[in-house]
Structure 1
Amino acid sequence: MQQRHYPPAPAEVYLFATCLVDLFVPQAGLDAVRLLEREGLTVHFPRGQSCCGQPAYSSGNPQQARAVARTQLALFAQPWPVVVPSGSCAGMMRHHWPQLFADDPVAGPQAAELAGRVYELSEFLLRVLKVDYAAAPAPAPETVVLHTSCAARREMGTRAHGVELLDALPGVSRVEHQRESECCGFGGTFSLKHPDISGAMVADKIASACATGAQRLVSADCGCLLNIGHAAARKGAPLEVEHMASFLWRRSGGEAA
């Protein structure tokens, strides 16, 4: 992953909420907006946005992924950063959209320019806004484990941003577990095509996280959160899950959802 140059803090940004946030975890999107607005930014949310095309792309259907992504290109016309509360979706937009349209003389330059403005939320808070939560009021002490999706970890370096943010929060103790670097078994359509393998993978992830004694798992990727959270609930495992945006908002002085 190449070293990235970060611009000064802007006055305005776009939020690309992702389809999973929109449909299943809307609170994470609202809390992402609150975090950005608290830093003085105006947040724009284009109503026509939908999916980044990752499910089709990772299933080997680039034509379908291109069709989905094409509908998004014109929605972010202003030269503002595009903040995404999902490392895997941000990685799709930043790294794979330019490849999808590499042979298109019109959409290709659009996708490449837009990709350069895409930031995962944790990355944007740390590297562009340079937030400092060290002086935030400390609620009751809390021990957590961090989960970073495979794509977010490898394409966007999101684990490093999550670690830095969690470790800076007063009253929060982050512990690592044996299977932290492993896939949770979601993998987009992988969990639908290979449910038995996916189920075994998420069971290992939950057991490893629970072995630390932590009762909360924090992640910046909703697909992983839904997979881990639902599996933990079915097993009766003492493990709550929370999106990074909601956790940061709650632990840095915002009101609990």
Structure 2
Amino acid sequence: MFQDSNSTPPTVGLFVTCLVDLFRPAVGFASIKLLEEAGCQIEVPDTQTCCGQPAFNAGHREEAVTIARQVIAAFEPFDYVVAPSGSCAATIRRHYPELLADDPKWSSRAEAVASKTYELTSFLTDVRSLAGVKVELPEKTIAIYHDSCSGLRELGVKTQPRSLLGTIENLELKEMEEPEVCCGFGGTFCTKYPAISEVIVSAKTKDIDATGADLLLAGDMGCLMNMAGRLRREGRRTEVRHVVEILSGMTEAPPIAGRQEDQS
């Protein structure tokens, strides 16, 4: 049974993710801020690496198993494992037990870590019962939310980010016509089938632009970078950010695929 009481803060191991670490560290700091405000004690294990999803998706099972064992060992000490990514959280929660099911030394350890792993907005609402955030945007902003495939289909992340976003002052949340349709990133899919990926993301940017939204939000950096890059190449005006940046009120960094001058 995991430690979770008002008197003793639960310990949370933050799984930063590769893309956050390499391309958007601000998301990691925003995640820490949100988790601390939700009454958690945060640690970021310096032995963590990739979750192994690229290897797993590409069929390199042996490499994926090696990475899974390393992640499990790094995060076993904590009450919870939380990631600002539906795809990474789903890899640990859904696929680690599958990868290590036949390993008598690791199967139970994989199950234990999987059972306490959550995507960040799901953890805040479903585990910590966070009803809202105290954030006010400087001006009226229309935002839309893209449901990433892994977060939605493997973890059931749908209402959680929207319920939190609905409590932000000066933020109007609208919906795309097809918010649940893939953006075309798909991890290794976009590198193996770039032409198909481009068609998919182009349809997504048209859906985004049709809403007239000022801001596009999502919970996975892969999706965000893919959509932001396409929006910029098409000259569209919608800014792109990870949802935790808005929820934490930490928007000092330029939008994804944006420049510092885009802030002025």
Structure-1-length-normalised TM-score: 0.91
Shift of 1:6: 11
d(CA) in 1 for partners of 2:61, 2:5: 35
Gaps of 5+ in 2: 254-264
Amino acid in the other structure paired with 2:204: K
Note the alpha carbon deviations across 1:15-44, whole angstroms, 9 max, x for none. 001111111111101100011122332210
Give deviations 1:152-199, integer Å, cap 9, x for gaps: 100111122122112222221111112311100000000000001101
Q: Deviations over 1:88-117 (max 9, x none)?
A: 111110010000000001111111000011
2:12 partner SS = strand
Structure 1: runs of 5+ lacking an equivalent: none
**C-alpha distance in structure 2 between counterparts of 1:21 and 1:134, whole Å:** 22
Q: How does 1:72-83 map to 2 (within 5 A)?
A: 72-83=71-82
| Contact 2:133-2:247 at 8 Å conserved across structures | no
Identity value in percent: 38
CA contact (8 A) 2:147 2:218 kept: yes
SS across alignment from 1:141: strand
The aligned residue for residue 59 of structure 2 is 60
* 2:135/2:168 contact within 8 Å kept: yes
Computed over aligned residues only, the root mean square deviation of the Cα atoms, in angstroms, reads 1.9
Say which SS state the counterpart of residue 88 (structure 1) adopts: helix
Q: What's 1:158 paired with?
A: 157
The answer as to whether partners of 1:6 and 1:128 remain within 8 angstroms in 2 is no
Query: Would the alpha carbon gap of residues 78 and 246 (structure 1) be closer, same or farther in structure 2, given more than 3 Å must change?
Result: same
Cα distance in 1 for partners of 2:4, 2:105 equals: 26
Give the length in aligned residue pairs.
250
How far the C-alpha of 1:131 sits from its partner, in A, is: 2.0
What is the alpha-carbon distance in structure 2 between the residues aligned to residue 6 and residue 176 of structure 1?
37
One-letter code of the match for 1:85? P
2:81 & 2:18 partners in 1: Cα distance?
A: 15
Give yes or no for contact 1:8–1:128 (8 Å, CA) kept in 2: no
How many Å apart are 1:208 and its aligned residue?
A: 0.5
Q: Which amino acid aligns with 2:240?
A: V
Please tell me the residue identity of whatever aligns with 1:66: V
Task: State TM-score, norm by structure 2.
Answer: 0.89
Distance 1:108 1:201, change over 3 A: same
Assess, with a 3 A threshold, how the Cα gap between structure 1 residues 63 and 150 changes in structure 2: closer, same or farther. Answer: same
Q: CA deviation at 1:59?
A: 1.9
